[in-house]
Structure 1
Amino acid sequence: MGNVQIITDSTADIPESLTQELDIHVVPLKVHFGDETYEDGIDLDSAQFYQKLADSAVMPTTSQPTPYQFEEVYRGIHRTNPDSPLISIHLSANLSGTFQSAHLASQTIGDEIPITVIDSKRASYAIGLIVVEVAKLAKQGASLEVCQSRIDELLKDTTVLFMVDTMEYLQKNGRIGKASALVGSLLKIKPILSLNDDGEVFPFEKARGNKKAIQRIVNEFHERYGDDPVHVGISHAQAESTANELMERLKSEFNVSKSVIADIGPVIGTHVGPGALSISFARSGNQ
């Protein structure tokens, strides 16, 4: 049997250097500015997106790949790797129809190609962290069972906490979930948000200002992970200096075995807006 092949979608916000290094297949979602349509990360990168967002009079929208697009990706991988099982890990089904499209495609061709489709119940590099950890195992030749076992661990262990400069984007794009109670009450308040066990946005806590919010997030990760070796990911929307400073702090306070700083791409950026910052933690595997 060939190495397990790992597929994800562009909302995982994995840096291209990592997708190439670990042979991760990425299926793009789409961003729409009025009549203009772009493929996330293909013909619209993060810098171009945020500039367009600032210049545009219309709020962008997003759409998931069709089942047929996933089917074509799966068939293409299978032609090149006919003996390899496929694992396809995607954006929370409570935030997008991407998982459903992938699932429908797998049902159509499941008799021909062994595919496992997984709802990560997460977004941005909180998905990417899971994908990268499993892709490392797959590239080392780990079996399907070992890869699936590691995914099960990561689905239980990966924590994401994030902040947005405004709730406007989450609200207007219908992804606000259980955080709707915060709308209109954010004067001098920085909301800390997370994704619950169903993969839906919910308010974790409120803090007064960025510094106190970041300190609360750091404290929470200390409580959850202590001195365990951790894979840490920070994804940001035009907040690179803050992300770099925070990562240096996390490296000094935690046992960081792997660290990744990633841009929040066009699709997730459509829903969180400029200035968003997301921090993801999981215990590192024995790799």
Structure 2
Amino acid sequence: MEKIALITDSACDLSIEKLKEYNIFLLPFRIIYKDREFNDRIDIEPDYVYSRLPGEIPTTSLPDVSLIDETFSKIEAEGYTHAICVSVSSAMSGTYNSVRLVAENHPNLKCTLFDSKTVCAPVGAITLAVARMLEFGHSFDEITNALPLIRKNVTGFYTIETLEYLQRGGRIGRVAGTLGEFFDIKPIISVSDDGVYYSYSKARGKKQAVRKLKKLLLDFLEKDKYRIIIMQTGDLAEATEFLNEIKDNKNVIDICISPLSPALGVHVGPGLLGFTVLKEHPLYEKL
């Protein structure tokens, strides 16, 4: 009889409560300050990171290999026969390859590693869809075969308050960052099918960017039913206002707010606002 473990990394943006609810094993990124190191989501909260950003921008690192190995050993010890791991895009992180190498040392555990080719809440949306499939009694092979479809049904968009942190982290050039700040340009960012960031559109000022985000989300909701995750860094009030403008739409199955993982938030800074949508499908919804 199959006993299937579900694993993801902390780029999924799922809360500890949600992880416990669905018995999801977490591989935390590391957040490194000059005087201390933290495990993402385990012993550090997003708001702590954002409050300290003006004074220090920490570095981030992959989940510790020994911790990944301990997680696989724990899974085996608890009698699991199979494991499904949903990872952050391999184009943005080496986590997928680290997990792959560790999994090879646990041949008694039949494991599928899925490169989500995305980041943040979309990873969490995929993971939760898998969790619901497990609840509905789907087999390991059925879930593995469904993963590409689940990924196809997920997308996300966000805008940011400032380009400063992308610039300081080397993700955009100094000239582009300076010009963007000078003209108050706010990009609306998504992730391509190849698993890398791209600029979907641009807006002049945060208010216009938020209006574009709202229209984009309403365009989705005109066509199908969706689960929605509102993404935010350090501005819960703004995210709550955005949620309240959407929540009563007849095509919203479920909607919640999720703070961006600290390990990702350090690269965009406070003031990010965005959304993730997961399209309804009978494989992972009770229709």
- The corresponding residue for 2:117 is 121
- The one-character-per-residue Cα deviations of 1:237-262 (angstroms, maximum 9, x if unpaired) are 11111111111222234511122211
Cα–Cα, structure 1 residues 175 and 114, in superposed 2: closer, same or farther, change >3 Å? farther
Which amino acid counterpart does residue 99 of structure 2 have in structure 1? A
CA–CA separation in structure 2 for the residues paired with 1:143 and 1:97: 28
Which amino acid counterpart does residue 28 of structure 1 have in structure 2? P
Which amino acid counterpart does residue 75 of structure 2 have in structure 1? I
Q: Residue 102 of structure 1: CA displacement?
A: 0.9
- The corresponding residue for 2:71 is 73
Counterparts of 1:270-285 in structure 2, within 5 Å, are: 270-285=266-281
Matched residue SS, 1:20: helix
Q: Unaligned 5+ residue runs, structure 2? A: none
Cα–Cα, structure 1 residues 47 and 223, in superposed 2: closer, same or farther, change >3 Å? closer
The correspondence for 1:61, drawn from 25, 48, 59, is 59
Cα–Cα, structure 1 residues 167 and 141, in superposed 2: closer, same or farther, change >3 Å? same
- The corresponding residue for 1:101 is 98
- The one-character-per-residue Cα deviations of 1:87-126 (angstroms, maximum 9, x if unpaired) are 11111112211111111112232x2211111111111111
Matched residue SS, 1:137: helix
Which amino acid counterpart does residue 77 of structure 1 have in structure 2? I
Q: Unaligned 5+ residue runs, structure 1? A: none
Counterparts of 1:159-238 in structure 2, within 5 Å, are: 159-176=155-172, 182-186=176-180, 187-238=183-234
Q: Which runs of 4+ in 1 moved over 6 A?
A: none
Does structure 2 conserve the Cα–Cα contact (< 8 Å) formed by 1:3 and 1:141?
Answer: no
Q: Residue 225 of structure 1: CA displacement?
A: 4.9
Does structure 1 conserve the Cα–Cα contact (< 8 Å) formed by 2:221 and 2:251?
Answer: no
- The one-character-per-residue Cα deviations of 1:210-251 (angstroms, maximum 9, x if unpaired) are 232222223333444534110101121111111111112222
CA–CA separation in structure 2 for the residues paired with 1:281 and 1:253: 14
Matched residue SS, 1:108: coil
Q: Which moved more, 1:7-16 or 1:249-258?
A: 249-258
Does structure 2 conserve the Cα–Cα contact (< 8 Å) formed by 1:9 and 1:89?
Answer: yes
Q: Residue 35 of structure 1: CA displacement?
A: 4.1
CA–CA separation in structure 2 for the residues paired with 1:94 and 1:244: 32
Q: Which moved more, 1:74-83 or 1:21-30?
A: 74-83
Counterparts of 1:5-154 in structure 2, within 5 Å, are: 5-54=5-54, 56=55, 58-83=56-81, 85-109=82-106, 111-154=107-150
Does structure 2 conserve the Cα–Cα contact (< 8 Å) formed by 1:95 and 1:175?
Answer: no
Does structure 2 conserve the Cα–Cα contact (< 8 Å) formed by 1:169 and 1:273?
Answer: yes
Query: Equivalent pairs: percent with the same residue?
Result: 28
Q: Which moved more, 1:259-268 or 1:218-227?
A: 218-227
The two structures have a TM-score, normalised by structure 2, of 0.90
Which amino acid counterpart does residue 166 of structure 2 have in structure 1? L
Q: Does 1:260 align with 2:256?
A: yes
Cα–Cα, structure 1 residues 188 and 174, in superposed 2: closer, same or farther, change >3 Å? closer
Cα–Cα, structure 1 residues 210 and 198, in superposed 2: closer, same or farther, change >3 Å? same
The two structures have a TM-score, normalised by structure 1, of 0.90
Cα–Cα, structure 1 residues 165 and 3, in superposed 2: closer, same or farther, change >3 Å? same
Does structure 2 conserve the Cα–Cα contact (< 8 Å) formed by 1:126 and 1:158?
Answer: yes
Q: Residue 181 of structure 1: CA displacement?
A: 8.5
CA–CA separation in structure 2 for the residues paired with 1:149 and 1:211: 41
Matched residue SS, 1:128: helix
Which amino acid counterpart does residue 50 of structure 1 have in structure 2? Y
Cα–Cα, structure 1 residues 181 and 129, in superposed 2: closer, same or farther, change >3 Å? farther
RMSD value, Cα = 2.0
Does structure 2 conserve the Cα–Cα contact (< 8 Å) formed by 1:31 and 1:60?
Answer: yes
Cα–Cα, structure 1 residues 243 and 133, in superposed 2: closer, same or farther, change >3 Å? same
CA–CA separation in structure 1 for the residues paired with 2:68 and 2:46: 23
CA–CA separation in structure 2 for the residues paired with 1:182 and 1:214: 22
CA–CA separation in structure 2 for the residues paired with 1:27 and 1:132: 16
